[in-house]
Amino acid sequence: MMQQKRYSKSKILIFLILEITVVAIGVLCSIAYGSKSIPVKDVLGYLLSLGDSGDSFEAAVISARIPRTVFGVLAGSALGVSGALMQAITRNPVADPSILGVNTGASLMVVVGIAYLNISSGLGLIGLSFIGAILTALFVYGIASFGFGGASSLKLALSGAAVSTALGSLVNTIMLPDSQVMKEFRFWQVGSIGGATWDDIRLVVPFVLVGVGLSFALASPLNAMALGDEMAISLGVKVGVVRAFSAFAGVMLCAVVTAIAGPVGFVGLMLPHLVRQLLDNDMRLIIPFSAIGGAGLLVISDVIGRVLGRPSELEVGIITAILGAPIFIWIVCGNQGRRGCEQRKITINGFEIKLTHTNRYKRHDKQ
């Protein structure tokens, strides 16, 4: 059945305003709260005066926190879009950089580059991170594709967990004997945006813009691919090209964040599912709302870690794992528990297609 798609513009607008509000509140709290709390009115005064607030201690603290906050917004957006792309090209609800072990693969290459290759430039670390991420993604997906049923949600999760554990052990093996590497990366290893600087932001921005821009351009073809490769080809979509560029964009967004902040997990898992539940399966909605929501989630998680860990802090990777683990379990259990027919709505060129899919692995009781 095909009918003209009519989005609920009011619902989309409300959700957009809600996400932007969450990001704005997260940004203010990120600048205001930490080991030393600054009144929100002072933060607003500093921002409205464009930093021309004298040389007070409060002004110095605010100035030091702004790069961390800006990087948190960029990193959260990148991870949200990366998760949405990975879920789209694998057609798997648990495809996330942390679940698939992509973060750990990127981390391993970064640590190898620093410990053995003496690479310290940000661009060099991003390149190594990208190589590690893409190799790990291909390896995990290849393992999960073996056997009956292909790369199912459960097989991808198990393969990703196994590979992530193995690669994580290699990371520890390299770091532990070298006290200098261990000191430098013990917080980075669990995911932290505390060390972000303006130089890091200038380095990351081009990659994030390219990755997010490419994901927007691929949104409509990805909608067609959700119907299956054969249907997408009949609609004129170059499936191989779209899948390759989508994988490139998703892995690049994950790798550039991991190179600077370490392996921050579950952001790309939670936001696409939230958008699908509240709005639609349309990638033209999932990608932008995952970007905005990812920014808000990461910044607020960072604030929670600083508040709970006073006078020190809990790394943001710990907080996102605490929030994301129950959602991951719910997704896997819900996906494995489906039986019979499943109906999905896909939007292509302004039309809604209702697709009914029969679960070919449905259990049949013996008579």
CB atoms within 10 A of CB 139: 18
Cβ(358)–Cβ(120) below 8 Å: no
What contacts 24+ positions apart, CB below 8 Å, involve 308-312?
310/35, 311/35, 312/35
The three-class DSSP label of residue 335 is: helix
* pTM for the predicted model, two decimal places: 0.82
pLDDT tens, per residue, the chain with 367 residues: 344 444 578 889 999 999 999 999 999 999 998 888 888 888 888 888 766 666 677 888 888 899 999 999 999 999 999 999 988 888 777 777 877 888 889 889 988 888 888 887 888 888 999 999 989 988 988 888 887 766 666 777 788 889 988 998 898 888 877 776 676 676 677 788 888 899 999 999 999 999 999 999 999 999 998 888 888 888 888 888 898 899 899 989 999 998 888 888 889 888 888 888 888 888 999 999 999 999 999 999 999 999 888 888 888 888 998 888 887 777 767 655 554 444 455 554 454 555 444 443 333 344 3
What contacts 24+ positions apart, CB below 8 Å, involve 194-197?
194/68, 194/313, 194/315, 196/67, 196/68, 196/70, 196/71, 196/72, 196/260, 196/261, 197/67
